[in-house]
Amino acid sequence: MIKTISIQVYGKVQGVWYRASTRDHAQNLGILGTVQNKKDGSVYIEAQGTTTQLEALYAWCKEGPELARVDRIEQVEITPKSYPDFSVIR
């Protein structure tokens, strides 16, 4: 079953390649969606895939790339959208 979630990641997650690393990890998992920086310093992700794929992405997001420091992470199931791929929104 395919579902769509949002993940909001707080901490030292901007300026540490979090978006690009998330895109690469999501693409390797076969997940569609987007990732973007938010004005409050967090990173916002929309991801669409199977439960197994999304659980793997969520687990990775709790750590992130090497230079990141994740303080808090929130996940919510959202209304499905149509994503052509997984991309970084600038």
Of 10, 76, 67, the C-alpha closest to 43 is: 10
Q: Which residues are identified as catalytic?
A: 19, 37
pLDDT of residue 27: 98
Element (H, E) at 52: helix 51-61
16's tokens: 């540490």
How sure is the predictor about 13, in pLDDT bands with cuts at 50, 70 and 90? very high
pTM here is 0.97
Alpha helices in 5-82 (DSSP H): 18-29, 51-61
Q: Which pLDDT band, with edges at 50, 70 and 90, does 14 fall under?
A: very high
Domains, the chain, ordered by start: 2-83 (3.30.70.100)
Q: Which amino acid, one-letter code, is at 14?
A: Q
Say which residues have a Cβ less than 8 Å from residue 24's Cβ, sequence separation at least 6: none
Q: What's the confidence (pLDDT) of residue 30? A: 98
How far, in whole angstroms, is CA 76 from its chain's centroid? 12
